[in-house]
């Protein structure tokens, strides 16, 4: 009788970590483990970590720390720290988590199977933070994960197309924990996406710290050319990508967003600050004026494009005037959504040594003002869509409830999906299935979502 072994993966951080966790899951499955969502059932627990903020780093140590007692009860339990914190800490991780078994850096995924074998042979406290000459690709003998037993969302997947970063923004640790920028081969990317499409995936998001510079160092095809190749994959209905660096946003890419039908009419373009002084101190490589010029070019070429951005509030030496420059930029662009954060030091980033730190209370005050202003534009953008008919990719059952929905049939389900512009849309439906593309007429707008009805479905008038 074969004893089943189970693996549990806890992913903290960005979309790239989600992708890396899928690769770790593939390797674990090839070594006889089955994935589980029940942590107490697991024979191996992997925490794929993020070090972009102090809170995320502490969250990783807290998660792994609680297995000290569990390992005394179940000595066979294997604990693994993977990802950015693992790369950053190396052997020092054992000082904080003595019961940790394997520390696996960001470039060591391809060697994970080798370390599992070494652990099985009796080796303990394994550390691998060595660099790799190549980006890990799905190995020929490891099937690409369709996600059927990894994630309930069976229609969308992240695909990392490049690794590392060469920009060295002064607040960022990515070049130090993920290495220098390298691009995967376009053939490997297309092959992986083809396998995913064959397994039922309908939407893919191409990932990189700066997808705009894909292939430049390797003198290969450009990112817009890669989008063309990916769009030719049968079965893929939508293509998204993140993240674009403003300094490298080209007209070629703007035209690709405009001209390639499968590429979504949405762009995430991190600005970080609206102050030229702060942008220079961040080493962002562009000015406020350059950023706005590129936004204007986007809006002209792609009418109705949905725009989102990242903003850091309270960067060292940020004055009220600098902060007001950021507020004014928000008013000028009118983003659909933003991801805004109060600056926090990362020990390995240059900005940690900068003087004139902004007080924590002032950071929080500015952050709240920024978010309040953005709420005005998000509300405005959403309300402007009421009455429009929008194509939605169905993602699954909605957790939201809406009394206006038809309830004439027990079969009437409340479903959710996203528009090409990345809006969350809830709607009632008897027949729609995950992966369907359906048209929804928008009836109501709310702060974080839209509500509507499939064409041909009538409202329940009260």
How high is the mean pLDDT in each 10-residue block of the chain (462 residues)?
84 90 93 94 95 87 94 93 95 95 94 94 94 64 46 79 94 92 94 94 96 93 98 97 96 97 98 98 98 98 97 98 98 97 91 95 98 97 97 89 48 86 94 92 94 70 38
Domain 5-128 carries which CATH code? 3.40.50.12160
For residue 377, the SS3 value is helix
Give every strand in the sheet of 266-268, ordered side by side: 266-268, 306-313, 337-342
- For domain 151-261, the CATH architecture is 2-Layer Sandwich (3.30)
What 8-state DSSP symbol labels residue 213? G
Report the alpha-carbon distance of residue 195 to residue 179 in Å, rounded: 28
Q: How far apart are CA 154 and CA 270, in angstroms?
A: 28
| Continuous segment of H or E residues that includes residue 257 | helix 251-259
pLDDT in the model for residue 399:
77
Question: Domain 389-454 falls in which CATH fold?
Answer: OB fold (Dihydrolipoamide Acetyltransferase, E2P) (2.40.50)
Residue 133: C-alpha distances to residues 113, 154, 164, 178, 182 (Å): 18, 32, 12, 13, 10
What does the block give as tokens for 459?
């409202």
Q: Output the pLDDT for position 138.
A: 52
Residue spans in the chain of domains classed CATH 3.30.750.210: 151-261
Question: Residue 142 has what DSSP assignment?
Answer: S
Phi/psi for 351 (5° steps) reads -65, -20
Which part of the chain is CATH 3.40.50.12160? 5-128
**148, burial (CB in 10 Å: exposed 0-12, middle 13-18, buried 19+):** exposed
CATH 2.40.50, the chain: domain bounds: 389-454
Alpha carbons 190 and 150: distance in angstroms, whole number? 22
What is residue 113's predicted lDDT score, i.e. its pLDDT? Answer: 94
What are 131's strand-pairing partners?
A: none
pTM comes to 0.88
* Distance from chain centroid for Cα 186: 21
pLDDT of residue 54: 81
Residue 68 DSSP symbol: H
- Residue 26's pLDDT is what? 92
Fold (topology level) of 265-384: Transcription Regulator spoIIAA (3.30.750)
Task: Please tell me the predicted confidence (pLDDT) of residue 137.
Answer: 62
Residues of the chain with CATH 3.30.750.200: 265-384
- pLDDT at residue 148, rounded to an integer: 39
């Amino acid at each position: 009788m074969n004893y089943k072994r189970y693996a549990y993966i806890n992913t903290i951080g960005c979309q790239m970590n989600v992708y890396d966790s899928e690769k770790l899951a593939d390797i674990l499955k090839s070594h006889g483990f089955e994935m589980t969502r029940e942590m107490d059932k697991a024979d191996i627990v992997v925490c794929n970590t993020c070090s972009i903020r102090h809170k995320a780093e502490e969250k990783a140590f807290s998660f792994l720390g609680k297995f000290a007692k569990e390992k005394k009860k179940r000595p066979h339990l294997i604990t693994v720290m993977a990802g950015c914190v693992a790369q950053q800490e190396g052997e020092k991780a054992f000082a904080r988590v003595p019961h940790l078994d394997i520390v696996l850096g960001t470039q060591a995924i391809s060697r994970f199977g080798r370390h599992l074998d070494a652990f099985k042979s009796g080796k303990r406290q394994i550390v691998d933070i060595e660099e790799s000459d190549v980006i890990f690709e799905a190995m020929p003998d490891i099937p690409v994960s369709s996600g059927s037993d990894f994630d309930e969302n069976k229609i969308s997947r992240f695909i990392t197309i490049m690794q590392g970063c060469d920009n060295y923004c002064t607040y960022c640790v990515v070049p130090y924990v993920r290495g220098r920028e390298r691009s995967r081969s376009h053939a490997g990317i297309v092959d992986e996406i083809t396998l995913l499409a064959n397994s039922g995936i309908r939407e893919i998001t191409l990932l990189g710290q700066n997808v705009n510079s894909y292939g430049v160092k390797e003198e290969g095809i450009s990112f817009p050319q890669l989008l063309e190749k990916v769009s030719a994959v049968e079965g893929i209905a939508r293509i998204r990508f993140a993240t674009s660096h403003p300094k490298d946003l080209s007209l070629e890419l703007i035209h690709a967003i405009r001209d390639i039908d499968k590429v979504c009419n949405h762009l995430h373009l991190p600005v970080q600050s609206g102050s030229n002084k702060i942008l220079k101190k961040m080493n962002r490589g562009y000015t406020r004026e350059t950023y706005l010029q590129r936004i204007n070019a986007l809006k002209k070429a792609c009418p109705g494009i949905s725009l989102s951005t990242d903003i850091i509030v309270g960067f060292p030496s940020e004055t009220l005037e600098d902060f007001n420059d950021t507020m004014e930029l928000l008013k000028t662009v009118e983003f659909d959504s933003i991801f805004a954060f109060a600056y926090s030091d990362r020990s390995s980033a240059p900005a940690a040594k900068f003087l004139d730190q902004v007080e924590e209370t002032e950071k929080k005050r500015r952050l709240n003002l920024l978010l309040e202003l953005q709420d005005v534009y998000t509300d405005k953008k959403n309300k402007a869509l009421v009455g429009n008919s929008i194509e939605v990719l169905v993602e699954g059952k909605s957790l939201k409830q809406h009394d206006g929905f038809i309830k004439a049939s027990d079969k009437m389900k409340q479903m959710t999906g996203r528009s090409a512009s990345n809006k969350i849309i809830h709607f009632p439906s008897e027949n729609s299935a995950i992966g369907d593309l359906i048209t929804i007429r928008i009836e109501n707008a709310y702060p974080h979502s839209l509500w509507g009805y499939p064409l041909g479905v009538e409202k329940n008038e009260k």
